[in-house]
Amino acid sequence: MPQRNNIYFFYKKEPELTSRVDKLIEAARNINYNVVEDASEANIICSIGGDGTFLQAVRKTGFRDDCLYAGISALDRLSFYCDFKLDDISSIINAMDNEEVEVRRYPTIEVTIDDHASFLCLNECSVRSGIIKTFVMDVYIDDFHFETFRGDGMLVSTPTGSTAYNKSVDGAIVDPLLSCMQVSEIASLNNNHYRTLGSSFLLSGDRRLTLKVVQDGNDYPTIGIDNEALSIRHIHDLHIRLSDRKIKTIKLKDNSFWHKVQRTFL
């Protein structure tokens, strides 16, 4: 059994960053944390970088729900997944040592492609035309045919992903305490022949969204799961639902999701 204080640091091994991280590693050891080289042995996984790094840290360590993730910003500012600043080691150590932190649980979504390959997402899954032509998908909510989409693509975001790509396409920002997923359009074509809802919508955790790619030759969309692209040819169906897996992260007590929204956008 791993010890309770096994900690793993995920970061880009660039010389400048490594020397800054080394100071944090030393400080962690001084308060009796055991720094491990294998993420599967860790109870705490620290991502050091930006939000993009945090997404990678969670993906590369397998979306574990039996450990805590902590985001540490390598920049001078905090971001959505990073509650601590790398150059403020004393407050990181103080928070860890005095347990001045709370744990929050972030919903994730599960994407299944053609009933075999499954992927989890912490921000969103996006499905976009891989070529310059429009892309057509039949959209089902559970087994109900809801609409036929034609345009650039669609994205399905988690609550924490709602401040990322989803916001750029005018989706709503969703409190991560709500377990739901948001479906948004990317440049839908609307005229007397083609009609889509035109606004984003939220689906409860009990629903399943199915996107059936119309097999008209444009059946090789670009699928993005957070910051990775999937390269799968000739896609028929994508099933998307909220996953049972939640990502537990460490937060400072006075730094809620809405503090972050205000700090970033207002």
Q: Which of 83, 110, 152, 226 binds ligand NAP (CB under 6 A)?
A: 226
If one asks whether residue 130 binds ligand NAP (CB under 6 A), the answer comes out as no
If one asks whether residue 118 binds ligand NAP (CB under 6 A), the answer comes out as no
Q: Which residues contact 264 (CB under 8 A, 6 or more apart)?
A: 79, 80, 163
Nearer to Mn ion, 2 or 50 (CB): 50
Give the number of residues in contact with Mn ion, rule: CB under 5 A: 2
Residue range at the interface with Mn ion (CB under 5 A); choices 49-57, 79-87, 92-100, 188-196: 49-57
If one asks whether residue 59 binds Mn ion (CB under 5 A), the answer comes out as no
Decide which of Mn ion, ligand NAP, none touches 110; Cβ closer than 5 to 8 Å per partner kind. none
If one asks whether residue 165 binds ligand NAP (CB under 6 A), the answer comes out as yes
244 counts as catalytic: no
Nearer to Mn ion, 129 or 158 (CB): 158
If one asks whether residue 112 binds ligand NAP (CB under 6 A), the answer comes out as no
CB of 129 to ligand NAP, least distance (A): 14
If one asks whether residue 161 binds ligand NAP (CB under 6 A), the answer comes out as yes
Contact positions vs ligand NAP (CB under 6 A): 50-52, 55, 79-80, 123-124, 160-161, 163-165, 168, 226-227
